[in-house]
Amino acid sequence: MKTPLLYGLLAAIADALLVLALFFLGFHSDPAKLTVAKWVGGVLALAIAIVSMVAGIRARRSEVPEKDGFGYGSALGAGVIITATTNVIYGIFYFVYLKFINPGFIDVMLQDTMDKMAAKGITGAQADNVEKGVRFMLAPAVQFISQLIIGTIFGVILVLIIAAFLKRVPKEGTLQPPAL
């Protein structure tokens, strides 16, 4: 149980460092740079998720004796714990980031969205409604809840695939019949 928690914590720290790197490099201060930040952040966050899940599931698998095997369910369980831990810890970090470290980032994301809406020709009352909705969705508390829900769904989908490759069947002849 401790191993998946550790790998979840490490993934959350790596994701937090990625956000801070993008912040310090200036990608979170200008709507024009936000598209690049989304792509770079998205690709690197995906890489962090895959590496942490693969490493964490392998580490957990190595703790189980070979004679016991490490089936799909065990690999899936370890991966789900990793992704849940990552999402809770990273969600807390992102809440703190939006609320205290870079509260102006919400305005940058809002401006980026509004610029895209204006390019599509949305103006006036429609734009005001869109702005209210986007501002609500970008609130730190809503972002925390979104991270928990969307991050967990995405993580579970990812671990469903990864677990299929990391299961380990017990070696032939090592299974003992159940005691009667």
178 pLDDT more than 60? no
Q: Which residues contact 8 (CB under 8 A, 6 or more apart)?
A: 52, 56, 81, 82, 83, 84, 85, 86, 89
Q: How far apart are CA 13 and CA 86, in angstroms?
A: 8
Q: Identify the weakest region by mean pLDDT among 76-80, 121-125, 165-169.
A: 121-125
Residue environment code for 4-13, b if the CB has 16+ CB neighbours within 10 A, otherwise e: bbbbbbbbbb
Distance of CA 40 to the CA centre of its chain: 14
Instruction: Provide the mean pLDDT of the chain.
Output: 93
- For residue 174, pLDDT over 90 is answered with no
Does the reported pTM lie above 0.85?
A: yes
How is residue 168 annotated by DSSP? Answer: B
- Is 41:115 a contact under the CB 8 Å cutoff? no
Q: At residue 150, what is the residue type?
A: I
> Which carries the bigger pLDDT value, residue 124 or residue 140?
140
Split at pLDDT 50, 70, 90, the class of 144 is very high
Summarize pLDDT for 28-83 with one digit per residue, the tens: 999 999 999 999 999 999 999 999 999 999 999 999 998 888 999 999 999 999 99
Task: Give yes or no for residue 112 having a pLDDT over 90.
Answer: yes
Report the amino acid identity of residue 149: I
Of all residues in the chain, what percent carry a pLDDT higher than 90? 84
Query: 177: which DSSP letter?
Result: P
CB 152 within 8 A of CB 87: yes
Q: Which of 10-19, 20-29, 121-130, 154-163 has the lowest mean pLDDT?
A: 121-130
Specify the higher pLDDT residue, 66 or 16: 16
Residue 87 · residue 148 · CB < 8 Å: yes
Nearest-CA neighbor of 110 among 78, 89, 132?
Answer: 132
In degrees and rounded to multiples of 5, residue 64 shows phi and psi of -95, 130
Task: Answer for the pair 136, 142: CB distance below 8 angstroms, yes or no.
Answer: yes
